[in-house]
């Protein structure tokens, strides 16, 4: 076993099924064990509902793969139960107007947790580098307004346990010239009102925005609102499990967090760290 990462859990991971990650579920679990984690959450992307997989290749697992994904997760949870707690999760896109279809997926399987993430504004995947051209000739603050409005609506659905990468709209470095903090605060207030947690997601470090999701300011405001936090590497390669764990721990402790939100069968348990 290598030295233990600073954060003992990692709840945001992907695997080969989504098409833009590499590695099997088992390889992610083995990496987590090797790094000394106590819990590993498997949380691949929900199948696409409102856009064509042909026009959006390598974005998410197919609907046919969903039951196989859950079956494999449950099998590995049992296989490694004496070495690490494996939590069976899903990154569930919020798509306005498709709440019933999302609910069918959320309610149809024995998830430990479901991440509420906004990737799409309409048919535009704002997190896809292949679609960055959609920013052209758009008002940046206008896009931010759409995005954070979608976060509020996601929080209100009751479908999710926590909000993923709450400010992922900054991924490609497009930042409004005017202050976006009222939009961020409104999103945080919705998360608080509806009893959700949020994540500190390390993946932004490697994106053009060059900082974790969320920003330091949002993290501080989330603590002010006393919103529970969890941690996710958003690993798309087994080696990335627990990435920037020491930095994440430092950031969280500096703003006053002493506990991490963990989940089992849709119930939240706060774990000291």
pLDDT tens digits, 132-180: 999 999 999 999 999 999 999 999 999 999 999 999 999 999 999 999 9
For residue 6, the model assigns a pLDDT of 82
Token digits of residue 73: 């997760």
pLDDT at 31: 98
Mean pLDDT of the chain: 97
Distance CA 267, CA 47 (A): 24
What's the pLDDT score for residue 3? 43
Number of H helices, E strands in the chain: 7, 11
- Closest Cα partner for 150 from 179, 124, 114? 124
42: three-class secondary structure by DSSP: strand
Write the pLDDT tens digit of every residue in 60-98. Answer: 999 999 999 999 999 999 999 999 999 999 999 999 999
| Percent of the chain surpassing pLDDT 70 | 98
Burial class (CB in 10 A: 0-12, 13-18, 19+), 18: buried
By DSSP bridging, strand 267-272 and strand 259-264 are antiparallel
Give pLDDT tens digits for 41-54: 999 999 999 999 99
pLDDT single digits (tens) 187-196: 999 999 999 9
- E runs forming strands in the chain: 9-10, 39-42, 85-93, 113-117, 120-121, 124-125, 162-163, 197-201, 229-232, 259-264, 267-272
Task: Tell me what the mean pLDDT of segment 120-139 comes to.
Answer: 97
Give the C-alpha separation, 211 to 217, whole Å: 12
Question: What pLDDT was estimated at residue 1?
Answer: 41
pLDDT at residue 4 is higher than 90: no
Query: pLDDT tier at 2 (50, 70, 90 boundaries)?
Result: very low
Query: Which position has the token pair 């990692």?
Result: 10
Q: Map out the domains of the chain with their CATH numbers.
A: 9-272 (3.20.20.140)
pLDDT 10s digits, 216-226: 999 999 999 99
Taking alpha carbons only, the member of 63, 64, 21 closest to residue 42 is 21
Q: What is the mean pLDDT of residues 96-119?
A: 98
Helix pair angle (245-255, 216-224), 10° resolution: 50
Give the separation between CA 76 and CA 87, rounded to whole angstroms: 10
């Amino acid at each position: 076993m290598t030295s233990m990462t600073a954060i003992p859990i990692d709840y945001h991971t992907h695997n080969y099924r989504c098409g833009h990650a590499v590695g099997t579920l088992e390889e992610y679990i083995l990496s987590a064990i090797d790094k000394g984690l106590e819990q590993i959450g498997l949380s691949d992307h929900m199948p696409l509902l409102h856009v064509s997989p042909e026009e959006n290749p390598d974005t998410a697992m197919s609907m046919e793969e969903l039951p196989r994904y859950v079956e494999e997760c449950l099998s590995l949870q049992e296989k490694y139960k004496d070495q690490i707690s494996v939590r069976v999760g899903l990154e569930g896109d919020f798509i306005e107007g498709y709440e019933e279809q999302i609910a069918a997926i959320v309610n149809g399987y024995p998830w430990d947790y479901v991440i509420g993430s906004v990737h799409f504004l309409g048919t535009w995947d704002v997190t896809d580098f292949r679609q960055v051209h959609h920013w052209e000739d758009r008002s940046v603050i206008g896009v931010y307004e759409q995005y954070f409005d979608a976060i509020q609506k996601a929080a209100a659905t009751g479908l999710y346990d926590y909000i993923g990468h709450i400010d992922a709209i900054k991924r490609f470095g497009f930042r409004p010239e005017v202050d976006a903090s009222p939009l961020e605060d409104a999103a945080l207030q919705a998360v608080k009102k509806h009893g959700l947690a949020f994540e500190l997601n390390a993946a932004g470090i490697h994106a053009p925005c060059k900082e974790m999701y969320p920003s330091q300011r949002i993290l501080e405001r989330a603590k002010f609102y006393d919103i529970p936090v969890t941690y996710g590497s958003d690993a798309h390669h087994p080696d990335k499990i627990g990435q920037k764990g020491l930095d994440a721990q430092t950031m969280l402790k500096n703003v006053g967090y002493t506990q991490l939100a963990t989940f089992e069968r849709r119930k939240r348990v706060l774990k000291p760290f």
